[in-house]
């Protein structure tokens, strides 16, 4: 069913309009949530995803040991309880009594053992494999130097899972809310192979099951009657509707075709606020908008050159003029807002923009680049008016200094696919949203082993500093200090070019109840209801 007919059916199912204009919702009416998304997922395999667009979908389809509620606070998931050893290294999870897959089979501790091993299996090619490196022998398995059965993940019995860590890891529980830590159904994968994720085949354990996926049109999910909390799930059908063109999404929202959308065309922000009032939701959340730069490719392997490019970019202009003050100038990979942590800012952060440009110009001239002999640089970005306007502004800022910028735009799926596959490029737009409220989520992506290390940054000093911080997990204050020292190395070596700190940009219909603003911008559909 195409989206036009799907939406008509949704309107009919939501209620009957009587002659006097009153809408009456019959007892059998389905409640349908048409949820706009700024991009389409690449996959619904939890172990092969990396973007927030996929996270929103997977959060509805699957349930990890621990999950987040409407306010992004930790709640029990597939595990109803857990205990932690005195040394902070051993976690014992009790799988929820009655937890079931959507085909009715029980969710067991062994499902998580299988799933964690699959994530670390080099054959899976999981970008997030490094997320589980705190677990004993996980890194060795992922590197092909250890046996899966040697990982610190053990099914004590059907309902008891034991996880052993190399060192105390303060963010471990919150990390388990990430889609990479979700369980997958072993029997289905072994029977169907790559087809296990297709609609009608996918067996999941979350609040919804996958009913349809029409590429570039919609992903339809229906309420899972086997879900342990199904009685409290108020939305019957969730249609994720990808719309990369932000302006088009605003028109669809105004026409009632979308109940919410997870981005805004920020050049229209003032007009949108005037038109939609408090339906526009903009506030800070934990994310960094940055440019990845190929640190292992000449001439970008020159740290002086990378420094000059970073210095020359006017972040205040980007935040104020391009993003309509809906973003904030960024000089560190870790954004402000994590309790007890002081981000390491670029050393030029306190300089005036004029002084920065003068310093950048001197470096470029020293390296032989001038407006007469320009350096050619390509910026790749994924489809979005906001990303395009950002790249165009940077193109104009760098031109007078002797950097000739060309732009290359692709859709989001193609863009991130190219970066994930280590394709050739100069500079590429990227963003990182916190997977958990800890600096490590922003710093871990620049480790050599990370599948999200788009810049191919490889620094022994940084690796050593991060390892030192991980080993200090038992002393939270010391650990945060060491992470800040590691970030100082990353920033000084310009492993990436941080540009802005995120705010979330949502537009939400007043018909939606339970769509709670939070610092993680997490909104599980199971906690949302819809009125007419």
For the stretch 381-393, pLDDT in tens is: 999 999 999 999 9
**With contact defined as beta carbons under 8 Å apart, do 448 and 456 qualify?**
no
Cα–Cα dist 427/24, whole Å: 55
What DSSP assignment string belongs to 223-271? E-TTSTTGGG---SEEEEEE---HHHHHHHHHTTS-SEES---GGGHHH
Determine the pLDDT at residue 6: 40
Phi, psi of 141 (to 5 degrees): -65, -45
Q: What is the 3-state secondary structure (H, E, C) of 7-18?
A: HHHHHHHHCEEC
Cα–Cα dist 99/185, whole Å: 13
CATH architecture of 283-503: Roll (3.10)
Cα–Cα dist 395/377, whole Å: 9
pLDDT tens column, 212-221: 999 999 999 9
Q: Where do the structural domains in the chain lie, given as residue ranges?
A: 3-242+509-530, 283-503
Determine the pLDDT at residue 25: 44
Determine the pLDDT at residue 28: 59
Determine the length of the chain.
532
Residue stretches of the chain with pLDDT short of 70? 1-28
Give the domain 3-242+509-530 fold: D-Maltodextrin-Binding Protein; domain 2 (3.40.190)
Task: Tell whether the torsion through CA atoms of 25, 30, 31 and 33 is positive or negative.
Answer: negative
**With contact defined as beta carbons under 8 Å apart, do 466 and 149 qualify?**
no
Phi, psi of 74 (to 5 degrees): -65, 135
Task: Tell whether the torsion through CA atoms of 247, 251, 252 and 256 is positive or negative.
Answer: positive
Which letter does DSSP use for residue 519 in this model? Answer: T
Cα–Cα dist 143/309, whole Å: 34
- For residue 130, give every residue at least 6 positions away whose Cβ sits within 8 Å of its Cβ, in sequence order, or none: 139, 142, 444, 447, 449, 450, 451
pTM score, whole prediction: 0.85
């Amino acid at each position: 069913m195409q989206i036009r007919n799907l939406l008509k059916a949704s309107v009919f199912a939501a209620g009957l309009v009587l002659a006097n204009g009153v809408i009456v919702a019959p007892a059998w009416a389905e409640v349908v949530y048409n949820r706009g998304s700024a991009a389409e997922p690449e996959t619904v395999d939890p172990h092969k995803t990396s973007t927030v667009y996929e996270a929103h979908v997977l959060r509805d389809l699957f349930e990890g040991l621990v999950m987040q509620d409407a306010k992004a606070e930790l709640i029990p998931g597939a595990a109803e309880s857990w205990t932690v050893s005195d040394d902070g290294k051993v976690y014992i999870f009790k799988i929820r009594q009655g937890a079931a897959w959507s085909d009715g089979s029980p969710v067991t501790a062994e499902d998580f053992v299988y799933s964690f091993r699959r994530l670390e299996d080099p054959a899976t090619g999981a970008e997030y494999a490094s997320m589980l490196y705190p677990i004993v022998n996980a890194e060795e398995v992922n590197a092909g130097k250890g046996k899966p059965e040697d990982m610190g993940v053990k099914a004590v019995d059907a309902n008891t899972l034991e996880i052993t860590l190399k060192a105390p890891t303060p963010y471990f529980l919150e990390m388990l809310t990430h889609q990479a830590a979700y369980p997958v159904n072993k029997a289905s994968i072994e029977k169907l192979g790559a087809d296990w994720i297709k609609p009608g085949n996918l067996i999941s354990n979350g609040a919804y099951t996958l009913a349809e996926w029409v590429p570039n049109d919609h992903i339809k999910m229906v309420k899972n009657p086997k879900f342990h909390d199904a009685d409290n799930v108020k939305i019957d059908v969730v249609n994720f509707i990808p719309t990369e063109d932000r302006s088009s999404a605003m028109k669809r929202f105004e026409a009632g075709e979308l109940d919410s959308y997870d981005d805004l065309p920020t050049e229209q922000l003032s007009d949108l606020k005037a038109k939609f009032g408090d339906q526009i939701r903009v506030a800070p959340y934990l994310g960094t908008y940055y440019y990845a730069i190929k640190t292992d490719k000449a001439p970008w392997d020159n740290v002086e050159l990378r420094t000059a490019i970073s210095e020359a970019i006017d972040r205040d202009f980007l935040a104020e003029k391009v993003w309509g003050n809906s973003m904030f100038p960024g000089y560190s990979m870790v954004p402000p807002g994590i309790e007890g942590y002081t981000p390491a800012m670029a050393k030029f952060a306190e300089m005036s923009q004029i002084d920065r440009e003068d310093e950048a110009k001197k470096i470029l001239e020293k390296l032989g680049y001038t407006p007469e002999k320009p350096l050619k640089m390509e910026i790749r970005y994924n489809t979005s008016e906001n990303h395009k306007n950002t790249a165009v502004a940077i193109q104009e800022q760098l031109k007078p200094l002797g950097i000739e910028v060309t732009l290359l735009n692709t859709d989001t799926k193609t863009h991130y696919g190219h970066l994930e596959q280590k394709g050739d490029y100069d500079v590429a737009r990227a963003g990182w949203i916190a997977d958990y409220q800890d600096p490590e989520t922003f710093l871990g992506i620049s480790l050599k082993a990370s599948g999200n290390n788009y810049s191919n940054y490889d620094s022994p000093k940084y690796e050593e500093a991060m390892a030192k911080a991980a080993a200090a997990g038992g002393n939270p204050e010391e650990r945060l200090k060491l992470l800040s020292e590691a970030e100082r190395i990353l920033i000084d070596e310009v492993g990436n070019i941080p540009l802005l700190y995120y705010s979330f940009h949502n537009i939400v219909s007043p018909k939606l109840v339970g769509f709670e603003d939070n610092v993680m911008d997490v909104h599980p559909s199971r906690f949302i209801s819809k009125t007419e």
